[in-house]
């Protein structure tokens, strides 16, 4: 058995470790390197090999005072494997404990994760995602959609305002991204630095498509992918382009299918059943639970940090780790009054 930890400084080893292992864009060096430009976190790929079998997981170190916990970088990554790596879960825990980490929040890819690498008492479900099986024929994909979606897709096929120029689309993205997400009250996790957006937009495994009116770009949709699965990564628009989301998503589905990608992960809603989830549900895809692992490696230190933050260390159902839970404005007011 071989256990290694690959840093972002070793791009070739990272790519080699992923070879032959079904993985998502969130596992790639390109994705993790781009996200590290925003977070500044030291980021790694954990690799466990047992003969020809291999398990991998991305993780980033997050300082908390003098202590450190770990988290999977933004995206759908987590533990994935080739073959049967039954001992990987135990070895990962020993590795994390040996590195002195307090705890870990490990997001799991709902399409690819290996349940044998997950302890049931550490597994939590908090949302769902919608997936499109791109191995189907286009006619079958359309037939599975809601009636309103089928009509919108037919209209999209007649549109002639698409933009595929990566330079123009990236410039639009950089100009409008921050305002677009700020106006929608997006959480801080989406506050990507321009360097992150450029790295993903210019990556060979990304696809940008947009629309324009009067020669001016008004909407952009960005997809990122591996051969196993693609992701609807983000959508940015101004007022004139807001009605084009379905058309852009349909273009992305067709393009990724043509590139041999097996699945498209549409993601889920901000909360289960909200308007974002309803928009995606109408594409008639497969619904999968979104799960994560919430692990504690140093119980005494973890409990002490929770007590210091006036949170319950036994509560793993909500924000994890609870000592990092953002304090709401109304809570600050209550404390100061």
Q: What is the pLDDT of residues 205-216, one digit of tens each?
A: 999 999 999 999
Q: How confident is the model over 93-105, as a mean pLDDT?
A: 97
Confidence check: pLDDT of 43 > 60: yes
Looking at residue 333, its pLDDT comes to 34
Over residues 125-170, the pLDDT tens digits come to: 988 999 999 999 999 999 999 999 999 999 999 999 999 999 999 9
Q: How confident is the model over 36-49, as a mean pLDDT?
A: 97
Looking at residue 274, its pLDDT comes to 82
Q: Is the pTM higher than 0.85?
A: yes
Looking at residue 55, its pLDDT comes to 95
**Among the ranges given (36-40, 216-220, 327-331), the one the predictor scored with the smallest mean pLDDT:** 327-331
Q: How confident is the model over 272-281, as a mean pLDDT?
A: 86
* Cα torsion 222, 226, 231, 233: sign: negative
Show me where the domains of the chain are located: 2-125+291-336, 130-288
| CA separation for the pair 328, 186 (Å, rounded) | 15
Beta bridge partners of 4: 47
| CA separation for the pair 130, 236 (Å, rounded) | 20
Looking at residue 171, its pLDDT comes to 97
Q: Residue 105: how many CB atoms within 10 A of its CB?
A: 20
Buried b (16+ CB within 10 A) or exposed e, 292-302: bbbbbbbeebb
Backbone angles phi, psi at 301, to 5 degrees: -70, -40
| CA separation for the pair 64, 222 (Å, rounded) | 33
User: What percent of the chain is predicted at pLDDT more than 90?
Assistant: 82
Q: How confident is the model over 79-108, as a mean pLDDT?
A: 94
CATH number, domain 130-288:
3.40.630.30
| CA separation for the pair 216, 166 (Å, rounded) | 14
Looking at residue 327, its pLDDT comes to 65
Which ranges in the chain belong to alpha helices (H)?
A: 11-18, 29-39, 88-98, 138-143, 147-157, 166-183, 194-201, 245-258, 275-281, 299-308, 329-336
Q: How confident is the model at residue 192 (pLDDT cuts 50, 70, 90)?
A: very high
Q: How confident is the model at residue 102 (pLDDT cuts 50, 70, 90)?
A: very high
Looking at residue 328, its pLDDT comes to 53
Looking at residue 335, its pLDDT comes to 32
- Round the average pLDDT of the chain to a whole number and report it: 93
Instruction: Name the CATH topology of 2-125+291-336.
Output: Aminopeptidase (3.40.630)
Over residues 205-257, the pLDDT tens digits come to: 999 999 999 999 999 999 999 999 999 999 999 999 999 999 999 999 999 99
Q: How confident is the model at residue 86 (pLDDT cuts 50, 70, 90)?
A: confident
Confidence check: pLDDT of 329 > 90: no
Looking at residue 307, its pLDDT comes to 96
| CA separation for the pair 279, 149 (Å, rounded) | 9
């Amino acid at each position: 058995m071989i256990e290694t930890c690959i840093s972002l400084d070793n791009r070739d080893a990272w790519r080699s470790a992923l070879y032959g292992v079904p993985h998502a864009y969130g596992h790639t060096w390109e994705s993790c390197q781009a996200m590290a430009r925003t977070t500044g976190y030291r980021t790694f790929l954990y690799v466990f090999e047992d003969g020809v079998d291999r398990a991998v997981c991305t993780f980033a170190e997050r300082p908390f005072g003098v202590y450190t916990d770990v988290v999977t970088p933004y995206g759908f990554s987590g533990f994935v494997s080739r073959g049967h790596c039954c001992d990987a879960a135990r070895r990962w825990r020993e590795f994390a404990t040996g590195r002195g980490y307090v705890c870990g929040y490990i997001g799991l890819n709902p399409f690819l994760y290996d349940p044998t690498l997950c302890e049931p008492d550490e597994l939590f479900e908090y949302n769902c995602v919608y997936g499109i099986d791109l191995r189907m024929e286009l006619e079958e994909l359309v037939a599975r959609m809601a009636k309103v979606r089928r009509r919108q897709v037919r209209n999209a096929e007649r549109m002639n305002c698409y933009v595929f120029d990566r330079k123009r689309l990236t410039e639009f993205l950089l100009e409008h991204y921050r305002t677009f997400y700020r106006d929608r009250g997006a959480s801080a996790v989406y506050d990507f630095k321009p360097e992150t957006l450029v790295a993903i937009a210019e990556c060979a495994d990304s696809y940008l498509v947009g629309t324009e009116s009067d020669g001016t770009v008004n909407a952009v949709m960005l997809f990122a992918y591996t051969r196993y699965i693609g992701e609807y990564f983000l959508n940015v628009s101004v007022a004139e382009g807001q009605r084009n989301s379905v058309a852009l998503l349909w273009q992305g589905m067709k393009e990724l299918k043509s590139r041999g990608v097996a699945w498209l992960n549409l993601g889920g809603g901000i909360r289960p059943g909200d308007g974002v989830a309803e928009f995606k549900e109408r594409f008639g895809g497969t619904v999968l639970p979104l799960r994560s692992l919430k692990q504690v490696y140093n119980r005494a230190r973890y409990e002490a940090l929770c007590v210091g933050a006036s949170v319950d260390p036994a509560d793993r159902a909500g924000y994890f780790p609870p000592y990092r839970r953002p304090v709401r404005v109304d809570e600050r007011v209550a404390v100061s009054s």
